[in-house]
Amino acid sequence: MIAFPLGATTTPAELARDPHPRLAELRAHEPVSWLPALNGWLVTRRDLALDVMRDAETFTVDDPRFTTAQVVGPSMLSLDGAEHTRHREPFAAPFRPREVREGFAEFIEEETDRLLTALEPRRAADLRRDFAGPLAVTVVTKALGLVGADTGTVLSWYDAIVRAVSDLTAGHAANPAGPEAYARLRAAVETTVAEGTEAEAEGAEAEAEGAAVAEAQGTALAQAATDTEADVPTPSLLTAAADRLTLPEVASNAAVLMFGGIETTEAMITNALLHLLQHPDQLALVRADSALLDGAIEESLRLEPGAAVVDRYATRDTTLGRAAIRKGDLVTVSLAGANRDPAVFPDPDRFDVRRDNSRLQLAFAHGPHYCLAAHLARLETRIALRHLLDRFPALRLDPDRPTAPQGLVFRKPPALHVRWG
């Protein structure tokens, strides 16, 4: 007799294409199930998902099999305990709510308006590649302060790294384009840190002379915490981090911030637009009451989180639900499954912008690895959707080019073709 019959017949292709019917079956009958196809456990019930993500001592990311670390090396995403704190802390302060609003709101407004102004005469577009992606990568590039890397270059790096991580997660060899892209990113980080350090020294000298040093401040994240006591402006977030981390460690975390920030925000914007345009009644509610826009974003995150799963590894023999997990086992948390748990979200497959508890969704994970840039991603998505809906009142899906989210790890439509006017 097979202990986990549903898990035994679940395939990666099914989970990549349309996972929700199978996740509902697993959640109801095998909430912690062994999936031979993934060679690991899959957790689909929300309370059990929280147990895993909160307990970093029992369920760790710090394992040689962690796919992101295989591509970019150890980072805040693949470390726990004191090492995780050491990697995360230099980047944390600028992503707090007030700092995000003060540092990015105006820039996002301007970039959104610029992109939409360029699109408006076309009367049709792929809003993922023509709008959501460029906006996300522009903001990430600004946040990191990368020298000599334009939007198209950073987007190409991100695409290659994400493909490599997805290949490894699916059990395939990583496409060599991923490590090659990371090598180019690392070179850009080295250049940025070197130039930032030079600018910081110049800024300190100018301050000593009582001169203005505004130009040395660089990016909007220049106020990232450093270990130095001198009150001098920091030219970039990466230079600030270099005061605490080695250069390879700065590069690894820059890669995590890059593809995490781009992936999360591009997926948030694209999936939210798709949900709204697929549900004209809900779109009408949002158009009539802009206060419902945040609810629409949270509902979209709940129904289709941009990152569908997060991986952990058991550090000891333990029991989760009714499953006996062995030390070293892969334990994958299905955020997509947890977000449709009917014990928390009644009628969980329904898109309801008025749902009163949609903020309980776990799209940004939970516990020590809660998404560092969640506030920034929400701000970008809110501004992007508000401007888009205001500028294009006749916005609608292109009926000749239907689409749906897909992906085993990262889920969004491959394209979002729309028309207006």
Q: pLDDT tens across 150-181, in order?
A: 888 888 888 898 888 878 877 788 889 999 99
Does pLDDT of 212 surpass 50?
Answer: no
Separation between Cα atoms, residue 72 and residue 255, nearest integer Å: 7
Residues forming a β-bridge with 312: 331
Does pLDDT of 365 surpass 80?
Answer: yes
Q: How confident is the model over 259-280, as a mean pLDDT? A: 94
Judged by average pLDDT, the poorest of 87-101, 111-125, 197-211 is 197-211
Task: Supply φ then ψ for residue 363, to 5 degrees.
Answer: -60, -30
User: Which pLDDT band, with edges at 50, 70 and 90, does 202 fall under?
Assistant: low
Our measurement of the distance from residue 18's CA atom to the centroid of its chain's CA atoms, rounded to an integer in Å, reads 20
Domains of the chain: 5-419 (1.10.630.10)
Does pLDDT of 213 surpass 80?
Answer: no
Whether the Cβ atoms of residue 265 and residue 132 lie closer than 8 Å to each other: yes
Whether the Cβ atoms of residue 54 and residue 24 lie closer than 8 Å to each other: no
For the chain, counts of helices (H) and of strands (E) = 17, 10
Q: How confident is the model over 257-266, as a mean pLDDT? A: 88
pLDDT at residue 201 in the model:
55
Does pLDDT of 224 surpass 80?
Answer: no
Q: What does DSSP assign to residue 214? A: G
Give the residue among 60, 79, 59 at the shortest CA–CA distance from 69.
79
CB atoms within 10 A of CB 309: 21
Does pLDDT of 229 surpass 80?
Answer: no
User: Which pLDDT band, with edges at 50, 70 and 90, does 234 fall under?
Assistant: very low
Span 294-310, pLDDT tens digits = 999 999 999 999 999 99
Torsion sign over Cα 345, 347, 350, 352: negative
Span 367-383, pLDDT tens digits = 999 999 999 999 999 99
Span 339-359, pLDDT tens digits = 999 999 999 999 999 999 999
Separation between Cα atoms, residue 227 and residue 6, nearest integer Å: 52
Judged by average pLDDT, the poorest of 63-72, 112-121, 282-291, 308-317 is 63-72
Task: Mark out the alpha helices in 236-332 (DSSP H runs).
Answer: 237-242, 247-278, 280-288, 293-303
Whether the Cβ atoms of residue 325 and residue 314 lie closer than 8 Å to each other: yes
pLDDT at residue 174 in the model:
87
Q: How confident is the model over 371-398, as a mean pLDDT? A: 97
Written as six digits, the tokens of 381 are 């998505």
Separation between Cα atoms, residue 163 and residue 274, nearest integer Å: 23
pLDDT at residue 220 in the model:
28
Which is it for strands 32-35 and 59-60: parallel, antiparallel or unpaired? unpaired
Does pLDDT of 265 surpass 70?
Answer: yes
